[in-house]
Chain A
Amino acid sequence: MGAFLVKRMLFAVVTLFAVLTLVFIVIRIVPGDPAQVILGDQADATAIAALQKRLGLDRPIWEQYVTFLTGAIRGDWGVSLVTGRPVIREILDVLPWTLELTAVSMVLGTGIGVPLGVWAAINRNRMPDYLTRIGSLIGLSFPPFVSAILLLIIFSLALRWFPVISGNRATPWAWFQSIMLPALNLGLIMAAYITRVTRSAMLEVMQEDYVRTARAKGVPWSVIVWRHALRNALIPIVTIVGLYLGILIGNSVLTEIVFNRPGLGKLIIGALNQRDYMMLQGMMVIYTLIVVVVNVLTDLTYALVDPRVKLS
């Protein structure tokens, strides 16, 4: 286990270095001048040149890269070109919002997806199976920004159960109200994926000899399904949950904007529009770190759900 973790950490460092370099190059290749964006469309060439100098954008690319890399190693990700505040501070201000949304969405997605998938599998080619398959197909087909607007129209405007503007942590109830719709929006789409994967994994496992043997021995049906079959079907489900976590963070960009929640999504859109290089670099580091950590956790979970898997 220890060797496995050390190996993965080394791999993570190499990945981070590659991502940092790639991001540094790519965002400078993309046209668009931060100084122009900051100063607005009335700025003259002299003012733009002065700001470029102040931001260090007039220096050679390699010099900017060395400064950026040495800063990043020391944990200094620089200051936002737009707000002048430290990048790390800006990210840490909103990171908990995105992590919270991702976590609740994942709980909802898994909590809805796994039981539905099992239900569909044990009722193969019957009404529950058809309904679940149609439902999951609808879930997969809906872009998150469309489902977000629909949820708002139904639950916020017509029924008035939830607020349109999310991001309220004043009381536990306010928190619940403000997170439910965005999490449901992301969670339902995730549930659609998980339902389909769970169904097919369960169908495969249910054909196994040991399931037939357990049934012949008179083991209760619920024990067969939930203890024997589901446990053995968990590996593909864990894989898809791990993979989907990255997608969830990606989908949270649009969800945060439509539900007006703070988070990395809103930050990255603003940074892109304003060509805030420093902010984009910092955010890419965070996204990469999240993906690396999730992959490690997924690997560890494999060993947890299936003792035959060796971490080496």
Chain B
Amino acid sequence: MRMSWMAGGALAALLAAGPALAQKTTLVIGMQTQDAGVLDPHLNSGTPGKALMNWMFNGLVRIKPGQASPDQIEPDIAESWTSSADGREWTFKLRQGVQCHHDLGEFTAEDAVFSLQRSGNKDSSAFSSDYSAFDKVEAVDKHTVKITLKTAIPSLLGQVMNYHGGNMICKKAVDTLGKDGFARKPAGTGPFMFAEYVPQQYVKLVANPKYFRGEPKLKEIIYRFIPSDAARDLALQAGEIDMMIGRQEQAWVDRTNKIPGLKVIAFGPAEMSVIHLNMTQPPLDNIKVRQAIAHAIDRAGIQQFRGTAISRQAVSVVPSGYFGTHETAPLLPHNLARARQLLTEAGFPNGVTIKAIHTTLPGMMGFIEAVQAQLKRAGITLDITPVEHPTFHQQIRQDLSQLVHFQAARFPIADVYLTQFFHSRSIVKTPTAVTNFSHCKVADAEIDAARTEQDKAKQVALWKTAQEKIINEVCAVPVNEMLMLWAFKDSLDLGYELKGSLNLGPPLTELTRFTK
């Protein structure tokens, strides 16, 4: 009798322990946002949306999970591809049997053509200008796609990877639901499928059992919108979320790393802080004043200020690690005496005052205040007008600021950064404006030549020359690079080593799982 009572107790204990021993299969993520925005990969350009889209959609190719360099491109929906000698014709052979979400059938060349044409259409895509070089996209047969370009571009593969307009969507979903309906129930081919959206609370994804790389080990992802930094921190510590986007603060990293069971990972692509100098406005039209500013800024000091584990010193006017970055570019060194001497030579022995419109975003504000203090030591007064972030973006594009501090990451090929920030086509307040705040135009020839150059060595050489010219002209002063920071439970195994992610959030693949 006593034995059977004990056996019963042991059995009850085992049954009770059962659920506790079961491996966790729901991943809850905290994202710094009020809401997800439009759930359409061709329209959603914000950081919160990029990560989410990455878990639902594939490209024809992809960068290996955990990497951010174009050197690491591998097949995704396309199993192979070829290109013509002049780089204008590309043919992609698709995998057979790739299934669209929600039982919408096989993903075929027709879907790929539809996706790319949609990405190139300004009415259905926020990234249409990326596809301006596309001439034709055709389905050769059910599993073959051919892209013809008007002119060769630096990275066609970058336009067809699972990033921005390269995300492949299923045509049938758009045909059935319409454009707005698709944005409420998106359908791709990725490891996780859309399941539910609750306004201001979360998006729920479920595992795609027909994923072509195998059924994901995680069964569910809850992507929670938690705009408050403090609330995200507390939710992670309380175990209510398993993973979150972090703050770009060294103190936050140190504090979170000390909490048992949690870890912080810093990864690229880094956002580079660059001081753009408007060369059309006095006194910045004088190269000696611009050189003085460059000499006055102490990159090592700024790195120390922002945190050595989460930031690094800029190496060129293109962020480090991009294809074509001049990693040993001749940036002007920190030299206060030289800065003062240059100001005197420029006719400003008593110093100069530069006016800058600046965002009130705390991270960027801290940076510019540190720069302001450094410039002051050389006799350069930085007069900052703080404005709200959307106002900042509008006013700097109206050419209202003498000095613009811009922090950005781009697709990691030198051409993108050089074209958007330093080509004359991109000068602000022009019909083709992007983000050339300095009015720089010294390297147009090299940037244009590199775009169509098919010899990789020559292409890189052209980009390096372009960077040297921009640095010599001091169109801008690159200062610092900030890494992306995410914290998560150490029981979460991503299935790869996280060194970088173009989509600014850790890729979640079929291999991602909890170890306990």
Residues of A within 8 A of B (CB): 30-33, 36-47, 50-51, 54, 82-85, 90, 93-94, 149, 152-153, 156-157, 160, 163-165, 167, 257-260, 262-263, 266-267, 269-270, 273-275
Contacts and interface: CB of A to CB of B under 8 A. Distances in A.
Interface residues of B, number: 50
A50 B241 CA distance: 40
12 contacts: A36-B393, A36-B397, A50-B123, A51-B122, A83-B183, A93-B199, A165-B235, A165-B240, A167-B201, A262-B198, A273-B34, A273-B390
A31 B395 contact: yes
B224 interface: yes
A260 B126 contact: no
A270 B435 CA distance: 25
B420 interface: yes
B135 to A, nearest CB: 19
Given A167-B201, A262-B201, A83 B389 contact: no
Contacts of B225: 260
A45 B432 CA distance: 5
A165 B224 CA distance: 9
B421 to A, nearest CB: 11
A42 B434 contact: yes
A118 to B, nearest CB: 36
B37 interface: yes
A30 B391 contact: yes
A51 B129 CA distance: 13
A33 B394 contact: yes
A41 B409 CA distance: 10
A269 B432 CA distance: 32
Interface in B231-248: 231, 234-235, 237-238, 240-241
Interface string B389-404: 1110111010000000
B497 interface: no
Interface of B: 34-35, 37-38, 45-46, 122-123, 126, 128-129, 180, 183, 198-201, 224-228, 230-231, 234-235, 237-238, 240-241, 387-391, 393-395, 397, 406, 408, 410, 420, 426, 430-435
A50 B126 CA distance: 10
Given A84-B38, A157-B237, A262-B200, A32 B394 contact: yes
A163 B240 contact: yes
A82 B34 CA distance: 13
A263 B200 contact: yes
B431 A41 contact: no
Nearest to A79: B180
Given A259-B231, A269-B34, A274 B390 contact: yes
B37 to A, nearest CB: 6
A266 B226 CA distance: 10
Given A44-B434, A45-B433, A157-B237, A149 B230 contact: yes
Given A47-B129, A165-B231, A90 B199 contact: yes
B45 A39 contact: yes
A50 B183 CA distance: 20
A43 B393 contact: no
Given A32-B393, A40-B45, A40-B46, A165 B226 contact: yes
B432 A44 contact: yes
Contacts of A260: 224-228, 231, 235
Given A259-B231, A266-B34, A273 B389 contact: yes
Contacts of A82: 37-38
Contact of A31 (B38, B394, B420): B394
A23 to B, nearest CB: 17
A44 B433 contact: yes
B394 A36 contact: yes
A84 B183 contact: yes
Given A31-B395, A164-B238, A94 B199 contact: yes
A47 B435 CA distance: 13
A147 to B, nearest CB: 12
B408 A31 contact: no
B431 to A, nearest CB: 6
B224 A41 contact: no
Nearest to B396: A41
A164 B431 contact: no
B234 A275 contact: no
B183 A37 contact: no
Contacts of A269: 34, 227
Given A33-B394, A44-B432, A157 B238 contact: yes
A95 B387 CA distance: 30
Which 8 pairs of residues, A with B, have the shortest CB-CB distance?
Answer: A32-B390, A40-B45, A270-B34, A262-B200, A45-B433, A31-B391, A164-B235, A164-B234
Contacts of B397: 36
Contacts of B224: 165, 260
A132 B226 CA distance: 36
Nearest to A264: B200
Contacts of B198: 262
A161 to B, nearest CB: 11
Contacts of A83: 35, 37-38, 183
B61 to A, nearest CB: 21
Nearest to B241: A165
B391 to A, nearest CB: 4
Contacts of A90: 199
A152 B433 contact: no
A201 B122 CA distance: 65
Given A82-B37, A157-B238, A258 B434 contact: no
Contact of B388 (A32, A160, A164, A165): A32
Given A32-B393, A40-B45, A267-B34, A257 B410 contact: no
A160 B238 contact: yes
Nearest to B49: A40
B227 A157 contact: no
